[in-house]
Amino acid sequence: MHREQSPARRVIGVVGRSGSGKTTLLEVVVAALAGRGLKVNVIKHSHHDLELEPPRKDSARMRLAGAAEVMVASPYRFAIVHELRGAPEPGLDEQLARLAPADLTLVEGFKSWPLPKLEVYRAAVGQPPLYPHDPLIAAVASDSPRPADAPPELAWLDLNASATVLAWLDRQLDLKFSANLP
């Protein structure tokens, strides 16, 4: 049974330092959730320019000619490339509004956006964790033991055991989403 819920209630951020394993963890989580029949959307924020099509293909040529949006469609997928042309980057709320409804939307990036977050932390990256400075980080998936000074309400998950991350997500889905079920 598909359950419709408010899009704001189906969003969890995945944050962490570069090289910590966010994308790798997301691949595992998305595959597991999709394998259960859940519809999962992902928003990946990048600070770099996006190269989504070969430069000499028709779609790139139309975009470079000045088209505001170019849709590329095939029997397998479609993509819309929207040129900002100097306009400000849309916020996460605008990006979420562009997506079709889903059981869960996972957001990689948008670290400062106010939403519940899962941090991926590896001490080997050589940078401090984010959770001490972000009260919206509800859990940390790490390959390090839980520090003694970690807040007691902060879930500490084994990054190398994806089942622990999935179990945490299951609890989040039940606790956060079941209240509004018909």
Q: Supply the pTM of this predicted model.
A: 0.84
pLDDT tens digits, one per residue of 72-115: 888 998 888 888 888 998 999 999 999 999 999 999 988 899 99
pLDDT tens digits, one per residue of 28-38: 999 999 999 99
- Spell out a b/e string for 10-48, using b for 16 or more CB atoms within 10 Å of the CB, else e: bbbbbbbbeebbbeebbeebbebbeeeeeebbbbeeeee
